Amino acid sequence: MKTITNKTKLDDILDFTEKDKLVDFIKHYAQNDAAFNKAFLEKFSPNRQSQKKQEQPSEDYEGLIQSAFVSQSSRRSGRYGYYDNYDDYGFDADQVRAQLEALLEKARYYIKYQNIDEAILIAQKMIETIPDEWDQNFDYEGDVQEMYDEAIDLLESLLEQKLLSDEQKESLFDWYEQEIMDKKHNDVGCNTSLDSLGDYFLTGVENAFERSLQIINQQIKTSSDYSQEDLLEKKIHVLYEFNKTEEADKTIIEFIHLPQVRKIRLQQMLEKKEYLLAINLINNGIEDAEKKNHWGTVISWKEELLTVYQLLGDKGKELELTKELFTISNDSRKYYKMLKSITNKTDWNSMLEWILKSMDNGSYYGINDIKAEIMIEHKMWDELWSLCQKGTISDIERHEKYLRPKQDEGIFEIYRVYVEKQAEITDKGAYQRVADTLIRMKTFAGGKETVRQLVAKYRQEYRRRPNMMKELDRV
């Protein structure tokens, strides 16, 4: 028989004793035994590494992150170890998130006890490793992306709260310089990006300006058209911040064809009240955007132009541009209110006529809702009735209370025809619409009798539709 040693016995006890009981024992013993308390804290204190520098981290964080993906992988191998199908490969994003969240919680635990180095390391390893393991095809809700974002947020919080020593900040910037140029970070962030850390390194590190500008210039060289404007805007602001005015102005002139860069120059002109120059700058921007068929940019520039004319107090141009924006913008409500506020009361009726007529050619989603709102505001009940008749049954239902005083019989007939057509459809949704419409019809004069007859008819004709019979029970 195998001899049981004290070591074996201890191992067995640790293996088979419930964790809660062990924790309770340690707490109790540490509170009552000073020597054990001291030894325990020296060994396991979260800030022990900050007190005594170690070359190795407390744990293999990169390995833990990689194993979170591997352990939650849905890979299934075939008989000879090969993957049966590419579609069989993936990871459970919820489970991966849970493990990464636990790691971030550990980083916050280290911050609480001033072990900033260990917290930084955890965040860095998450930022480095997640892009290598992440696949958007399996992260449907962005669970893993959110963990990547939170790791960046954690570092940003440390920088923002100025919790890093000069040495730690310098070290973090060294890491950032290398990591920011890796294209693997381009598409991982959901609500933030690694770029968000850049502004914190403009001060407090050696050669901050030169190094930051070099990063931005490298990014511009390798950037897509989509991100280039943001990077150029950032570069210009950095140049101005470090009083490199001449270089910043040259950059603006070189890239003035880009809307975001043009808007920097526009803001400068407005601050100096150079309104005529601003108008010329905006008109050139409109012309460029029209040539490229960038109609969203055209609208944006015309909104800027409207602001300038308002600053100049040019009522004629303000009215002209507001009318134009009412017809081309997707925010007709905004420009309707503006038109109402700047139009003389004596001219309002003709303006209202123009507004409604101009909306006849509109095609964007929701335009009829705005038109109906305007008609209701001005008690144009006949026009509202005509509009609703051209729309859907939902339009009639939505505006029924305004229409019924004059169109009671007409609305009831529309509902009757609609319910008859819906009753012919074999579909649960149609059955619900039948019951809902019949309930509405009961509120009309003579409606209860008509509904009673229709229900009796449907119970007979469609008696083999149990789901429909259930819906009719609530009529």
CA-to-CA dists, residue 409 to 63, 223, 336, 348, 446, angstroms: 74, 64, 33, 34, 10
CA-to-CA dists, residue 296 to 255, 292, 328, 416, angstroms: 20, 11, 10, 44
Q: What are the DSSP calls for 293-310, one per residue?
A: T-HHHHHHHHHHHHHHHH
The pLDDT confidence band at residue 88, using thresholds 50, 70 and 90, is: very low
Q: Residue type at 315? A: K
C-alpha closest to that of 136 among 166, 93, 169:
93
The predicted model scores a pTM of 0.72
Strand partners, 392: none
pLDDT at 163: 95
pLDDT at 26: 73
In the chain, where are the structural domains located?
Answer: 58-206, 391-475
Between these two residues, 75 and 202, which has the higher pLDDT value?
A: 202
Between these two residues, 223 and 471, which has the higher pLDDT value?
A: 471
Instruction: Decide: helix, strand or coil at residue 77.
Output: strand
Q: To which H or E segment does residue 318 belong?
A: helix 315-328
pLDDT at 79: 31
Sign of CA dihedral 408, 413, 414, 420: positive
- What mean pLDDT is reported for the chain? 89
Query: Which residues are within 8 A (CB) of 106 and not within 5 positions of it... i.e. 6 or more apart?
Result: 122
**Lowest mean pLDDT segment, chosen from 222-226, 232-236, 461-465:** 222-226
The pLDDT confidence band at residue 64, using thresholds 50, 70 and 90, is: very high
Q: Does the pLDDT of residue 363 top 90, yes or no?
A: no
C-alpha closest to that of 441 among 429, 426, 453:
453
Task: Specify whether the CB–CB gap between 213 and 225 falls below 8 A.
Answer: no
Q: How far is residue 202's CA from residue 212's CA, in Å, rounded to a whole number?
A: 7
Query: Please, what's the b/e burial string for 287-298 (b: 16 or more CB within 10 A of its CB; e: otherwise)?
Result: ebbeeeeeeebb
C-alpha closest to that of 139 among 85, 189, 86:
189
Between these two residues, 53 and 240, which has the higher pLDDT value?
A: 240
Strand partners, 77: 83
Q: How far is residue 130's CA from residue 99's CA, in Å, rounded to a whole number?
A: 12
Q: How far is residue 91's CA from residue 96's CA, in Å, rounded to a whole number?
A: 8
Q: How far is residue 150's CA from residue 36's CA, in Å, rounded to a whole number?
A: 37
C-alpha closest to that of 121 among 181, 61, 43:
61
**Lowest mean pLDDT segment, chosen from 26-35, 240-249, 250-259:** 26-35
Task: Specify whether the CB–CB gap between 131 and 149 falls below 8 A.
Answer: no
Q: How far is residue 243's CA from residue 265's CA, in Å, rounded to a whole number?
A: 16
- Residue range 396-416: mean pLDDT, rounded: 96
Q: How long, in residues, is the chain?
A: 475
Between these two residues, 26 and 83, which has the higher pLDDT value?
A: 26
Q: Does the pLDDT of residue 51 top 50, yes or no?
A: no
Q: Does the pLDDT of residue 190 top 90, yes or no?
A: no
Q: How far is residue 95's CA from residue 3's CA, in Å, rounded to a whole number?
A: 42
Q: To which H or E segment does residue 399 belong?
A: none
pLDDT at 262: 97
pLDDT at 78: 36
Q: Does the pLDDT of residue 81 top 50, yes or no?
A: no
Instruction: Decide: helix, strand or coil at residue 445.
Output: coil
